[in-house]
Amino acid sequence: MAAPLLYAIHTRFFDHDTGYGHPERPARLRAVDDGIDAAGLRAAIVPVVPTPADLDALARVHPPLYLRAMEEFCAKGGGYIDGDTHAGAASWEAARLAAGAGLDVVRRLESGEGRVGFCAVRPPGHHATVDRAMGFCLINNVAVTAADLAARGERVAIVDYDAHHGNGTQ
Q: What are phi and psi of 6, to 5 degrees?
A: -80, 125
SS3 90: coil
Q: Which residues are catalytic?
A: 127
CA–CA gap between residue 21 and residue 157 (Å, rounded)? 34
Residues 27, 127, 114: CA angle, nearest 5 degrees:
65
Residue among 28, 33, 26, 62 at smallest CA distance from 47: 33
Report helix, strand or coil for 68.
Answer: helix
20: Cβ contacts below 8 Å, ≥ 6 apart: none
